[in-house]
Amino acid sequence: MGATRQLRSDVNTPSSHRRRVGVAIPVPPAEKRKFRERLLKWYAQHARDLPWRKTSDPYKILVSEIMLQQTQVDRVLPKYQEWLTKYPTMEELAEAPLAEVKETWYPLGYNVRPVRLHAIARESVARYGGALPKDPERLQAFKGIGRYTAGAIRAFAFREDAPILDTNVMRVLHRVFVGRGDPKKQKSALWNLSEALIPRGKGYDFNQALMDFGAMVCTARDPYCLLCPMKDFCKTYPFTAR
């Protein structure tokens, strides 16, 4: 289990964060319980040691989440440290000239991201004194913060039981609990499932675990099905490439 590819993105960025009532993937309670318990047990043994897991500062969580969109963890790590040394707070990022911010971003690529991050910092300072709001609608009112990023900030900075659904999480939930059809066409139901699966009060660990599991076990191309703790009830086991 060595693959570490983990790309994040706001795979679904609807105008509202509100849950779609009535779109549900039925999961027997026993499977729900097994999935939660086994995922958290696996995470306790295999969690990655990542610097953004050692902070609850919403600004630092935001920086990590924006960097992890479209960029692999290994490439983000050195830039994350450099960025926070140069811009340790939302205020310092907001005050920096945009040209310099874009230069600091190099070579991460997908260069709309530093522009958005800078704009978020300025708006945060102007409207919230350099803080980020907890409220999902207010978070998603920032240009560049979609439903996934808002969920990650709520779960990882504010420790709320907020759901997330990036490409990795979507793949894991779809494989384990659905097993057919195109996951991209089932986003609403998968968002609801992501929310329904969170054990109360454990949103932080559960969401981090889901992302690590998708990056290290249930990988996109060659999932480690034979070693997988979910294989006895996974609807995709054994995975075969189509």
Footprint on this chain of ligand SF4 (rule: CB under 6 A): 175-176, 217-218, 223-225, 228, 230-231, 234, 236-237, 239
Closest CB to ligand SF4 among residues 132, 176: 176
Considering the candidates 65, 92, 100, 103, report the single residue annotated as catalytic: 65
Closest CB to ligand SF4 among residues 34, 79: 34
Closest CB to ligand SF4 among residues 180, 200: 180
- Is 65 among the residues known to form the active site? yes
User: Least CB distance from residue 214 to ligand SF4, whole Å?
Assistant: 9
User: Least CB distance from residue 242 to ligand SF4, whole Å?
Assistant: 13
User: Least CB distance from residue 22 to ligand SF4, whole Å?
Assistant: 27
Closest CB to ligand SF4 among residues 183, 223: 223
Q: For the residues of the chain, what is the DSSP string, one character each?
A: -------B--S---S-----TT------HHHHHHHHHHHHHHHHHH----GGGS---HHHHHHHHHHHBTS-HHHHHHHHHHHHHH--SHHHHHHS-HHHHHHHHTTS--THHHHHHHHHHHHHHHHHTT---S-HHHHHTSTT--HHHHHHHHHHTS--------HHHHHHHHHHHT-SS-GGGGHHHHHHHHHHHSPTT-HHHHHHHHHHHHHHTS-SSS--GGG-TTTTT-TTPSP---
User: Least CB distance from residue 173 to ligand SF4, whole Å?
Assistant: 9
Q: Which residues are catalytic?
A: 65
